[in-house]
Amino acid sequence: MTATTESTTEPTDGPILAGLRVLDLSHQYSGALSASFLADLGASVIAVEHPTKTSIRTMLPRKGEQSMWWSVIQRGKRVITLDINTERGRELAIELAKGADVICENFRPGTLEKWGLGPADLTAAGVNAVLLRISGFGQTGPDRERPGFGTIAEAISGFAHLNGEPDGPPTFPSTTLADGVAATFGAFGVMAALWGRRHNGPATGVEVVDMALFEGLFRIIPTQIASYSQFGAAPHRPGNKLTSHGVLRNLFRSADGRWFVVSAVGPAAIRRILLAAEAVPQMARVDAGVMMSDPAAVVEFLDECDDLLHVWAAKWDYATLAKRLAEADAVHQQVFSAEDIVADPQFQARGDLIEVPDDVLGPVLMQGVVPKFPNREHTVDRAGPPRGADNTSVFAELGLDEATIAALRADGVI
């Protein structure tokens, strides 16, 4: 499937990050995803993979030996093999770093320093770049040396505690939420550092962007700490219903078994949902100002609305419910699966579904580039390539001839 993007203007300019050079040393998802975001927007990214051991390649699902994770995360990059935990590998890594504006890594703190590739080592070698360091707990603090994956971040950030049914256990996401949020903050930090070095200085040596896996997810949960600080009690998980936030939001099931959500913040949006459900008495109370009454009364009123919406949803098929909600201009959405997403015209119109050539699998449908820049064209020309696919071209750019590259391969350095 090749999706088209509806726009009033055709793209006139090239990728927004064209000319940005990135060296991706990441061996796990979060760092590699940050570099992937930069590659999507036109940065030239060289990803370094160990000659024999690659965690991402082992992840499921796989088709044959090709992991879907590898295809998506390493898309748009040139991929080489290099054992940087060897003296010759370290020397080559430094040469690659000298040609980079950005370096990404997500080893445990102290690992790069042990290999002689820490910020001070790189600066002393003449490297002038932003170094993004994503780790479980960050480069400082008593837990800095602890290992960590996204699940640990979801546990410590408060996210899992706030998710799940009120009388059930904490609930973790089924995909890499903390890693993805950390990767997004990491890419943001990289761009902030590049801007600061260009406009505020100094623009020499290595500038570190230090990102702990848990901190991005922790940062985007708006009120858990402020509420605890003001009321002296930690917020508890509310399930899908958010009446305790003064919000009319929940998951509902139609008569024909489809799951959907409605969401409303503020009297006008709440009234639209009640209009769709023909809840005349409740609309009158909204008009009378119930949403500005005592907080306990607000929650009681929203709980009443929630109950009636469950009854209303169970009476009608989803097509009828969606029609009424749309006519009332209420915020609502059926819960989509991957099958629904692929068939959805909005995803297609936005260019959010693209086919990317994969050397092993052929064309692979995956997410498009975000965010959008209407006046610029961004494309993804390849999925994550086979191991060492770009060894010859990248090392040749460092001045290595074929015999030297062959010797490095024979010695297990690449």
Catalytic residues: 179
8 A C-beta contact, residue 392 and residue 414 = no
Identify which of 195, 207, 159 has the alpha carbon closest to the alpha carbon of residue 180.
159
CA distance to 44, 68, 113, 128, 331, per residue, from 204 (Å): 21, 38, 20, 5, 50
